Structure 1
Amino acid sequence: MDPREFLRILRRGWPLVLVCTVLGVAAGIGLTAATSKVYEASVEVFVATSPTSDASQLAQGNAFTSDRVQSYTSVANSPDVTDAVVARTRLGLTSQQLADKITADAPQNKTLINLHVTDGSPTRAARLANAVAEEFDSVVARKVEQTDSAGKPVVKLTVIHPATVPTSPVKPNRTVNVGLGFVLGLLVGLGLVVLRDLLDNTVKGPADFENVGVPVLGMIPLDKRTARTPVAFRGDPHSTRSEAYRQLRTNLQFVKVDNAPRIIAVTSAIPGEGKSTTSMNLAAALAEAGHRVCLIEADLRRPTIGKTLGLVTDVGFTTVLIGRTSVLDALQNIGRNLAVLTSGPVPPNPSELLNSEQARNVIAEVAAHVDYTVIDTAPLLPVADGAEVAAMSQATVVVHRAGKTTREQARRSVAALEKVGEAPVGVVLNMVSRTTGRYDYENNYYYTYRPERDGHGKRGEGAAELSPDQLTPQDRDTATDETVPGR
């Protein structure tokens, strides 16, 4: 996996990584709190042979104890030792329970034995350790090893460091538990975000459309102000969203250079991908460039453009189709170079109306009066309306929402258009964010290049702009799409 790709995945999934890490640390703390404390008391025993004045016997004795000391460790928790300690201390333990508490080790090349006894009580651990050391000495000296001719044991064990009451438990180890929980939580979180990304089959960038052979004409960044100001040029003509629509406009003008499309259908695979918002902004961007544009609302099932722009919705495309009004009478101007033909009343048979010869004639009549006709259509996969309108256009643009539309839905939408002989000229990836988009690092969609402001927060000389409220009624009739007032 490319490091930049991993960083993108991490940027998108850091909340999940954080949650898993916190849960891991909490689990470590919980395990520490739930685990009973165990204290360990230790006794150090020195092993030597019986004293002698003969140097050779002394040397032999040292060699003897060095060879035997490792085997003495297994005697520490033997029944001979534990039975005696249980009877002596009367602490309510069985011989096996005590044996489970005892461990012993002998450092290499030394005649030392370390006896360790664990218990939930630090005082009792020290008491048991000292008792075990005493009985261990007796068992080794009198039962394990033989006595000399004088009846004295040939091996002598001496306690050089008796057990003291431990001040801190050996279990649980809070540092280890919390550290282990942190590491495990972090690894689980990273694994989950990587797995989620591998299982994620939604479209996020141009690479996702390579298999269907459709180029990406534009990537529109997610803007929280869209619901409040659907037309980007109204709220901030220099925002990243406004610039993205200008880029889309530019890219469309290079599609089919020898036969530039003048009738452009905008559709989507499924509802909720932002096709209507894209249609409005594409029309506004074309009008901003000085072209005469008409926006036709041909989504006759869930029309939204008329209501969004504050236009009259009782008269529109459907009333023209059934002959109740003319095209010119139904058009509503919302600014310089931009007119809108709303959907009109919702009909009971939208598919039949759109597939009629009258619909083709109306679109052709509108196109004859303007430079560009932008048609907002219904989604392709739920109904046939979108494909029917796309067949009347000269170019079709499909809008997909980053992180929502699946690759399969994108493929099926292209197939639906190809069935009517209208392959899309490109797609628009909408609502791209740092979490849903895969290519924000490469395309720099989050940078802006706007006029500088002076020290008082005002734009420099020559960059003044008028808001819709500052326009006179005469100015409003000739307003650009950047300052279109709602009606």
Structure 2
Amino acid sequence: MENYNYDEVEINLRDLFYLIKSKLWIILLSGIIMASAAGLYSSFLITPVYTSTTKLYILSKTTTLSSLADLQIGSQLTQDYMVLVKSRPVVTQVIENLGLNMSYEEMVGIITPSNPSNTRILAITANYTDPYLAKKIVDEFATVSATQIAEIMDADKPTIVEEGYMQSHPSSPNTKMNIVIGGVLGVFIASGIIILLNLLDDTIKDSDDIERYLGMTTLALIPIESGAAKLSKQDEKNRKKRKKSKQLKDMR
């Protein structure tokens, strides 16, 4: 008889395929439940956030394109302006002008200055729960930043090339994307649990398992469960007959 090493687990891809196929309804149900949960969570438990962006052009109108020095200086100044936009004097002035009940740290967490690659454009973006206020914040930042930057750098004011816009739909959360992610996650989790439970189940279920684990060939199969079921049905019939006979005797 061959010795079987129980530390080794043989994975039969064909068996796993049929296992997944037999439990497909559970997997799909798990995906639907997770997708529904993600959709409900995104719709009712996450506060929508709206985005608005304004853009400043660093070089002044008097700058000529023939001046390479001015263009290079403009590129360097853009990086400096990104830091100045989040400076305390600028942020504090914006809060006072709009009459907001915010701290410096709260306002800094709302705005994000950025510089599109290979440009002299300074973009200021605000992410806030109120779309109207998000637009007002970036517009005020553009005005205050241009004035403060001109005073601090002793240069011309940057030109506002694009004012903020008010979004009609929130930029986050992305409900559709969250539903898809939730559904896929539910399918993978259910499949993983089913496969794991199958691999951990070392009970012998059929003749193939006997040959695989014990190295013994089965000669015949005895339908014990089927026979037991038949005997159980026959016992039930006999019990009903005895009960009926007793009732007839009592009636006599």
TM-score normalised to the size of structure 2? 0.80
Q: Secondary structure at the match of 1:156?
A: coil
What residue number does 1:196 align with?
Answer: 197
Residue 67 of structure 1 deviates from its aligned partner by 2.4
What residue number does 1:104 align with?
Answer: 113
| 1:195 alignment partner AA | L
What residue number does 2:95 align with?
Answer: 86
1:10 to 20, 26, 39: 20
Residue 19 of structure 1 deviates from its aligned partner by 2.7
Residue 109 of structure 1 deviates from its aligned partner by 1.1
2:143 to 118, 134, 139: 134
Q: Secondary structure at the match of 1:166?
A: coil
Q: Secondary structure at the match of 1:117?
A: strand
Query: CA distance change for structure 1 residues 219 and 156 in 2, over 3 Å: closer, same or farther?
Result: farther
> Do the aligned partners of 2:65 and 2:71 also contact (CA within 8 Å) in 1?
no
Query: CA distance change for structure 1 residues 117 and 13 in 2, over 3 Å: closer, same or farther?
Result: same
> Do the aligned partners of 2:50 and 2:170 also contact (CA within 8 Å) in 1?
yes
Query: CA distance change for structure 1 residues 53 and 46 in 2, over 3 Å: closer, same or farther?
Result: closer
* Partner Cα distance (2:17, 2:65) in 1: 76
Residue 308 of structure 1 deviates from its aligned partner by 6.1
Query: CA distance change for structure 1 residues 53 and 307 in 2, over 3 Å: closer, same or farther?
Result: closer
Q: Secondary structure at the match of 2:118?
A: coil
| 1:48 alignment partner AA | L
What residue number does 2:59 align with?
Answer: 48
| 2:170 alignment partner AA | P
* Partner Cα distance (2:194, 2:137) in 1: 52
Q: Secondary structure at the match of 2:170?
A: coil
* Partner Cα distance (1:203, 1:219) in 2: 15
Query: CA distance change for structure 1 residues 306 and 23 in 2, over 3 Å: closer, same or farther?
Result: closer
Query: CA distance change for structure 1 residues 44 and 175 in 2, over 3 Å: closer, same or farther?
Result: same
Decide which structure has greater strand share.
1
Give deviations 1:412-462, integer Å, cap 9, x for gaps. xxxxxxxxxxxxxxxxxxxxxxxxxxxxxxxxxxxxxxxxxxxxxxxxxxx
Query: CA distance change for structure 1 residues 71 and 2 in 2, over 3 Å: closer, same or farther?
Result: farther
Whether 2:22 is the aligned partner of 1:21: answer no
Query: CA distance change for structure 1 residues 304 and 51 in 2, over 3 Å: closer, same or farther?
Result: closer
* Partner Cα distance (2:30, 2:197) in 1: 14
Query: CA distance change for structure 1 residues 63 and 91 in 2, over 3 Å: closer, same or farther?
Result: same
What residue number does 1:61 align with?
Answer: 70
> Do the aligned partners of 2:63 and 2:70 also contact (CA within 8 Å) in 1?
no
**Greater Cα radius of gyration, structure 1 or 2:** 1
What residue number does 1:162 align with?
Answer: 163
Gaps of 5+ in 1: 148-152, 221-267, 281-302, 315-487
What residue number does 1:116 align with?
Answer: 125
Give deviations 1:350-374, integer Å, cap 9, x for gaps. xxxxxxxxxxxxxxxxxxxxxxxxx
What residue number does 1:338 align with?
Answer: none
Residue 205 of structure 1 deviates from its aligned partner by 2.9
| 1:26 alignment partner AA | S
Residue 218 of structure 1 deviates from its aligned partner by 4.2
1:307 to 235, 239, 250: 235
Residue 92 of structure 1 deviates from its aligned partner by 1.7
* Partner Cα distance (2:135, 2:36) in 1: 33
Q: Secondary structure at the match of 1:217?
A: coil
2:220 to 196, 217, 221: 217
1:35 to 46, 50, 61: 46
* Partner Cα distance (2:65, 2:171) in 1: 45
Decide which structure has greater helix share.
2
Query: CA distance change for structure 1 residues 209 and 112 in 2, over 3 Å: closer, same or farther?
Result: same
What residue number does 1:185 align with?
Answer: 186
Q: Secondary structure at the match of 2:23?
A: helix
> Do the aligned partners of 1:31 and 1:177 also contact (CA within 8 Å) in 2?
no
| 1:176 alignment partner AA | M
* Partner Cα distance (1:53, 1:116) in 2: 28
When structure 1 is superposed on structure 2, of 65-74 and 170-179 the one drifting more is: 65-74
Alignment of 1:408-423 (within 5 A): none
Residue 307 of structure 1 deviates from its aligned partner by 2.9
Residue 132 of structure 1 deviates from its aligned partner by 0.7
* Partner Cα distance (2:234, 2:98) in 1: 93
* Partner Cα distance (2:176, 2:221) in 1: 52
When structure 1 is superposed on structure 2, of 121-130 and 64-73 the one drifting more is: 64-73
TM-score normalised to the size of structure 1? 0.43
What residue number does 2:250 align with?
Answer: none
* Partner Cα distance (2:65, 2:135) in 1: 39
Residue 194 of structure 1 deviates from its aligned partner by 0.6
Residue 54 of structure 1 deviates from its aligned partner by 10
> What is the number of equivalent residue pairs in this alignment?
228
* Partner Cα distance (2:115, 2:181) in 1: 30
The structure with higher relative contact order (CA 8 Å, sep 6+) is 2
| 1:136 alignment partner AA | S
Root-mean-square deviation (CA, aligned residues, Å) is 2.8
Query: CA distance change for structure 1 residues 214 and 40 in 2, over 3 Å: closer, same or farther?
Result: same
* Partner Cα distance (1:208, 1:54) in 2: 81
Give deviations 1:228-286, integer Å, cap 9, x for gaps. xxxxxxxxxxxxxxxxxxxxxxxxxxxxxxxxxxxxxxxx6xxxx34435xx7xxxxxx
Give deviations 1:204-241, integer Å, cap 9, x for gaps. 33221121625163497xxxxxxxxxxxxxxxxxxxxx
